[in-house]
Amino acid sequence: MRLFLRYLRPVLVFLGGFTLLTGVIYPLLVTAVAQTLFPHQANGSLIEQDGLILGSELIGQPFDDPAYFWGRPSLTQPSPYNAAASAGSNIAPSNPALAERVAARIEALAAADPTNRQPIPVDLVTASGSGLDPHISLAAAEYQIARVAVMRGLDTAVVRRLVTEHTEGRTLGVLGEPRVNVLRLNLALDALTGVQS
């Protein structure tokens, strides 16, 4: 029994010590540093307007009104852009279901802008791996400028300028491609045309 207690005591001390260190001290330290140095990011990169939270810079939102820029399709369940169920479709390129989804999206884009004969950028017809992507490529934004301008009664140059103003560069100057945050761009459109969000 003494031998058992002799070995049990250090085990319990280590268990208690590491539980305190990794379960209490470390999370509190990381939270304090994040809240001090990066409060916007630490609190979800929320987009707020007039005291209302309209969304997050990190999570897409569904737009299907032709007067707005559309983001990438989302296949999260049970609703699009569900952050609690982030996932891709895991459908292989050879699967007919993928071709059907892409065809349906092409049809929706064509119905929203029947005169547009430009090639449709791939990110407007395929979901991202997370299903939450809030960005579109510059090509996807360019594809939609004329439609949005007509629907809003704006000159295409004005809408193109908004796209340019809301274009984010490569991460750290080298990673990824320039992109446009769809929610931020659509909020800027609403502000420009006096639409309440």
Query: Do residues 78 and 141 share a domain?
Result: yes
53-67, 80-94, 174-188: least confident range: 80-94
If asked whether residues 33 and 102 sit together in one domain, one would say: no
Residue 162: predicted pLDDT:
97
Long-range contact set of residues 192-196: C-beta below 8 Å, sequence gap at least 24: 192/154, 192/158, 192/162, 193/152, 193/153, 193/154
Same domain, 69 and 17: no
pLDDT (0 to 100) of residue 88 = 75
CA distance 60 to 13: 47
The residue segments making up the domain with residue 150 are 45-193
Average pLDDT, the chain: 91
Q: Let me know whether 154 and 57 are in one domain.
A: yes
Tell me the C-alpha to C-alpha distance, in Å, between residue 13 and each of 2, 7, 10, 17, 98. 17, 10, 5, 6, 55
Q: Please indicate, yes or no, whether residues 148 and 70 belong to a single structural domain of this protein.
A: yes
- Same domain, residue pair 75 and 20: no
Number of domains in the chain: 2
Give the pLDDT confidence of 126-160 residue by residue, as tens digits: 988 888 999 999 999 999 999 999 999 999 999 99
Same domain, residue pair 14 and 96: no
103 & 174 share domain? yes
Is residue 105 pLDDT above 90, yes or no? Answer: yes
Show the CA angle centred on residue 150, arms to residues 177 and 161, nearest 5°.
40
pLDDT for 5 beyond 90: no
d(CA 50, CA 16): 47
What pLDDT was estimated at residue 107? 95
- Based on the domain organization, do 51 and 84 belong to the same domain? yes
Residue 1 has pLDDT above 90, yes or no: no
The reported pLDDT for the residue numbered 26 is: 95
Higher-scoring residue by pLDDT: 4, 104: 104
Provide the pLDDT for residue 143.
97
CA–CA distance from 106 to each of 74, 111, 120 (Å)? Answer: 15, 9, 8
pLDDT bracket for residue 77 (50, 70, 90): confident
Phi-psi region at 131: left, alpha or beta (left = phi > 0; alpha = psi -120 to 50): left
pLDDT at position 37 is 92
Check residue 153 and give left, alpha or beta (phi > 0: left; psi -120 to 50: alpha).
left
Identify the band that residue 197 occupies on the pLDDT scale cut at 50, 70 and 90: low
Q: Residue 146 in contact with residue 66, Cβ under 8 Å?
A: no
Question: Are 35 and 49 found together in one domain?
Answer: no
